[in-house]
Amino acid sequence: ASMAVMLVLAITNWFSLSHLSAAQNASHQKAQAAGEMKHVAGLGAQLYRVVADTYINRQFDDAAKKWQAVTADIDKSLDFAAKTVSTDDARRGVQAGRDTMTALRKLYTEQFLPLAKQGAKNEEIAGLDDQIDKLIDAYDDAFSKVAADLGVAANLASQEFDDMVVQTRWINSLSVLVGGLLLAGLGLAVSRSITQKLGLEPAEASAMARRIAQGDLSPSLYARSARPDRVAAALAEMLGTLEGVV
């Protein structure tokens, strides 16, 4: 029975700690996702620097490598964002960012880059540059909102984790208290069972054994009044027999 009580306590604590661990992981993941979305939003500025370098420095091979690296990072981040967000607003924000990036790539590769390679004048490039700038602003705005949404979710998850810490402490404390009471009740029940079978208290049985060892063969009052099926009654009968022989 004591093993059963300990097993129940262990299972209770295991469940509470498992839920606590799950809440901690969820809080960490959402906080990490919110930080990643801020990084995603900042990629727009990196992309605009590539656009500016394309026209100003006209190092087209170097610009192409930078463009490829930044857009690959953006694609990876967009896929991560699509898998991470959990609200409709955040999903719409991710899709808006993806659509904006698609339009930006098309504008850069099909119009801006050919003009830059042709050595177009500033006034020819200015209109496209303004469109690119607006697309990047829209991209940044979309992912800033997604980051804010995930930040709120991360704060809620953190609060939930803190609440579960308090709840787990209460559960553990109550389980220890209930377990202690159950074990105490079990011990009392075992003690009473032993006393009933003996027909007298263990201390009285010890005292009777010492008296017998000292030569006192008179049965105690408790032994004489015990039920016939108890050890104390058999002991009283034995003492009576020994006293008659002696």
3-class DSSP assignment, residue 85: coil
Helix 60-84 to helix 122-198 angle, to the nearest 10 degrees?
A: 30
More confident residue, 2 or 182: 182
Q: What is the pLDDT of residue 99?
A: 92
Q: Average pLDDT in the 31-57 region?
A: 79
Q: Average pLDDT in the 155-169 region?
A: 72
pLDDT digit string, tens, across residues 177-205: 777 777 777 777 766 766 666 555 667 66
Alpha-helical (H) ranges within 59-121 are: 60-84, 88-107, 113-117
Q: Is the torsion defined by CA of 123, 125, 128, 131 positive or negative?
A: negative
Q: Is the torsion defined by CA of 27, 29, 32, 37 positive or negative?
A: negative
**Percent of the chain at pLDDT above 70?**
61
Q: What is the pLDDT of residue 216?
A: 64
More confident residue, 30 or 71: 71
Query: Among 15-24, 61-70, 150-159, which range has the highest average pLDDT?
Result: 61-70
Question: Per the confidence metrics, is the pTM higher than 0.75?
Answer: no
